[in-house]
Structure 1
Amino acid sequence: MRAVVVSLAGPRLLAEEHDLLGRGQPAGVILFGRNCVDPRQLRELCDAVRIAAGDTDLPILIDQEGGRVMRLRPPRWRPLPAMGTIGRLASVDRQAGLEAARLAGALIGGDLSMAGITVDCAPVLDVSGPTTTKAIGDRAFASDPVLVGELGRALMTGLSSSGVAAVIKHLPGHGRAESDSHMELPVVTASLAALREHDFVPFKMCHDAKLAMTAHLLFKALDADRPATQSPAIISEIIRGEIGFAGILISDDLSMEALSGSLEERASLAVAAGCDLALYCHGRLSESTRILNEAPFMPSARAALWRQAVPAPSVALAPSTMLEADFERLQALLAIAA
């Protein structure tokens, strides 16, 4: 399989996309709001993707964090809080916050599992601060790094209980970015000591996660020339070394303006630096084709680890009564800090 996760144009699989999935051998497909209309349509799309790829277990990813970042949105899917809301609850009642994070993970996972989606790009383990860009904002749990790590692990537990793999993000930490990496390359000037004491902490606490995503940030103290996604030093010495993450490392979206060069060059630099997978999110067929044509194949050991990390898709099921009870319990917990 190629070291690339691609995306789709719309809610139905195009004939050209069907052909590309069959011959291009992507490692997975990531979905966005443009792909998600209602539960039945979404399940049909996921099934069609796997049929086209000739792979009944092909990983299908999505960003379903709660709050602003929800590709499955009301009224077709249940509303879920931003992680910052759960962090505020935890600041009032830590145990209630931890339970709320677990329940949110189980609810998100339940919705994804019913759709046939097997990977959620969550939780955000970035530590918020007074200068954190609005692009992160309330996607972050809190400004206390230990609390972020605890809540992130609770969310991961909930996702796992529903048969969905979690992706911790954005390594080695996006909380100090003062600008939006979708628009430009943020530069972080904090010292290594400050990063160790603060930003790295939640990722160290969750270093045994099976999947993680990089940040398109330039850390002056770590590599003054290359963003983390494309930095061999940051990936080997910090993410793999100091933080201790050994699982599958996925780049953030190649389309973001924080990176420069052609999409093929961006993907090549990310993989050469140590990312296992390059992520392409814009859904343009011509660009997906170019990236897949140029991307290397995953080494067999890493490809096996990728597939081991991702659960097999569930059969399509009706909504669980247990999930409804979980949703009611979550609402009751959130009322504590309202």
Structure 2
Amino acid sequence: MTGSRAFIAAPLSQTLSTEERRFFADERPWGFILFARNIGSQAQLSDLVASLKEVGGRKTTPIFIDQEGGRINRLRPPLAPAYPAPAEIGRLFATDRNAGERAAWLQGRLLAADVMAYGINADCVPCIDVPVAGAHSVIGDRAYGHNPDTVATLGRAVADGAMAGGVLPVMKHVPGHGRGNADSHLELPRVATPRNELATSDFAPFRALNTLPAAMTAHILYTDIDPTFPATLSRIVIDSVIRTEIGFDGLLMSDDMSMKALSGDLYDLSAAALSAGCDVVLHCNGEMEEMRRVARAAQPLAGEAKRRADACEAVIGRVADTAVLEELRSEYAALMAEIG
């Protein structure tokens, strides 16, 4: 991955344009992310992923997607099966802990198989935010439950299942989006909860899973920790909370820098996120002029950021287990049928 730069980019449509090919080859993003706009047919998607890996220059070029189950799925039938929302696994866990944990592992493993069928090798799961009463519904049933221990247990199982299938998991949204009072796609959420209370709830699942290889930041302003900058742009939050209190030493990628929670020029925002301690910045809307601004801010990966990125690519480079997928699908269906 020599020369890869500290950003993740997204193509605009279902094939790479000549301009995109040239831009990606010249600017060398570390990885790419795909959305529904990029997905047509099986053959088309496989070809697009192959093109991105070719321009990335490595078999382990990370190709990300958001495939959680429930309402967050970029791949939909018939391209991939539909799965219950993470909250449904939490319901099973509440009645049978062993069955719930096994179902979580199976969902992670099956999600990995579904995306790997197209060469996609990184999934932005698990979502280990802990929602609270009165929070915005943007997390909602994407959470495994309302108890930090439950969320941590099931999130770990999903991540382990993904890695067993050769897919890099990305836990999100560190240090916790569950209390957000707004949808960060549209505006900046603010959380005024005292830090010591956040530590016992919101931070707890991330602390329990701090050995996972990658995490995505929350575009949230935690006013008791840093009243000026949201987590993605806050050296205080990244150094003091994410790296020290939570103890996470994996790759830290920003949430999408083009979301409305952040305001300002994309160059300035990207430079600020990297300066604050993000290892890579994520840009998702595929707009070329915005990507150029992000790329200008993203220097070649070096030092600790490169070490962490290399560790993520090592996960991608693992050989998936040899499980018989149809047997796993049958087992998963039987477990989830227990909750009706």
Picking from 26, 30, 35, the partner of 1:32 is 35
Whether the 8 Å contact between 1:207 and 1:243 is mirrored in structure 2 is: yes
The superposition leaves residues 61-105 of structure 1 with CA deviations (integer Å, 9 ceiling, x where unpaired) of 111111111111112211111111111111111111101100000
Counterpart for residue 336 of structure 2: 334
Picking from 155, 158, 176, the partner of 1:155 is 158
Whether the 8 Å contact between 1:64 and 1:72 is mirrored in structure 2 is: yes
TM-score using structure 2 length: 0.95
1:253-332 alignment runs, 5 A limit: 253-310=256-313, 311-312=315-316, 322-332=324-334
Q: Mean Cα displacement is larger for which, 299-308 or 259-268?
A: 299-308
Whether the 8 Å contact between 2:121 and 2:167 is mirrored in structure 1 is: yes
Picking from 195, 204, 221, the partner of 1:218 is 221
Letter in 2 for 1:251: S
SS of 2:146's equivalent in the other structure is coil
1:39 is displaced (CA, Å) by 2.7
Counterpart for residue 77 of structure 2: 74
Picking from 148, 160, 178, the partner of 2:181 is 178
TM-score using structure 1 length: 0.95
Cα–Cα, structure 1 residues 301 and 195, in superposed 2: closer, same or farther, change >3 Å? closer
The superposition leaves residues 257-283 of structure 1 with CA deviations (integer Å, 9 ceiling, x where unpaired) of 111111111111110100001000001
Query: For residues 173 and 117 of structure 1, what CA distance do their matches in structure 2 show?
Result: 26
Query: For residues 312 and 207 of structure 1, what CA distance do their matches in structure 2 show?
Result: 19
Whether the 8 Å contact between 2:14 and 2:40 is mirrored in structure 1 is: yes
Picking from 202, 209, 212, the partner of 1:199 is 202
- Structure 1 unaligned residues grouped into runs of 5+: none
Counterpart for residue 10 of structure 2: 7
* 2:97 pairs with 1:94: yes
Whether the 8 Å contact between 2:66 and 2:123 is mirrored in structure 1 is: yes
Query: RMSD across aligned C-alpha pairs, in angstroms?
Result: 1.7
Query: For residues 258 and 227 of structure 1, what CA distance do their matches in structure 2 show?
Result: 9
**Matched pairs, number:** 335
SS of 2:324's equivalent in the other structure is helix
Whether the 8 Å contact between 2:31 and 2:56 is mirrored in structure 1 is: no
Query: For residues 56 and 290 of structure 1, what CA distance do their matches in structure 2 show?
Result: 27
Letter in 1 for 2:95: V
Counterpart for residue 255 of structure 2: 252
1:289 is displaced (CA, Å) by 2.1
Whether the 8 Å contact between 1:123 and 1:169 is mirrored in structure 2 is: yes
Q: Mean Cα displacement is larger for which, 32-41 or 297-306?
A: 297-306
- Structure 2 unaligned residues grouped into runs of 5+: none
Query: For residues 113 and 173 of structure 1, what CA distance do their matches in structure 2 show?
Result: 28
Whether the 8 Å contact between 1:128 and 1:141 is mirrored in structure 2 is: no
